Amino acid sequence: MDIKRSYSYETSPLDDKSNQSPDLPVGEQHRYSIGLSKRFQDSTLDLYYEYADFGEMEVAQYGLVKNLNGTFIGQVHFIGASYTF
C-alpha cells in the first residue's frame, strides 16, 4: 500500500476587490491532500481526501441598483476514489 500526500499554493488571479465576484471569490489558495493507493494483480484502488483553503477575499461590486460589498471565506473538502483495471 502506498501513502501519498501533497501541498500546493497558488497566488490570487484577481487581487483587486472590484474584480472579485461573489460567485467564486478566490484569494491565495492552499491545498492539502492525502491518499492511499492499493495495487492488486490486475487493478489499483485509490482513495483520497483534499482540503482547499481559498483564503479570505474582499468583494466590492457596484451595480446600477445595489452595491455588493463584503468579505468571503472559501473552504472546500473533497473526498474521492478511483478503481483502475
Domain count, the chain: 1
pTM: 0.71
- Taking alpha carbons only, the member of 14, 50, 8, 12 closest to residue 28 is 12
Q: Which domain holds residue 68?
A: 2-84
Residue-wise pLDDT tens digits, 51-79: 999 888 888 877 767 777 888 888 899 99
pLDDT at 24: 67
Output the 3-class SS for 44-75. EEEEEEEEEEEEEEEEEEECCCCEEEEEEEEE
CA–CA gap between residue 76 and residue 54 (Å, rounded): 8
Q: What are the pLDDT digits (tens) for 73-85?
A: 888 999 999 999 9
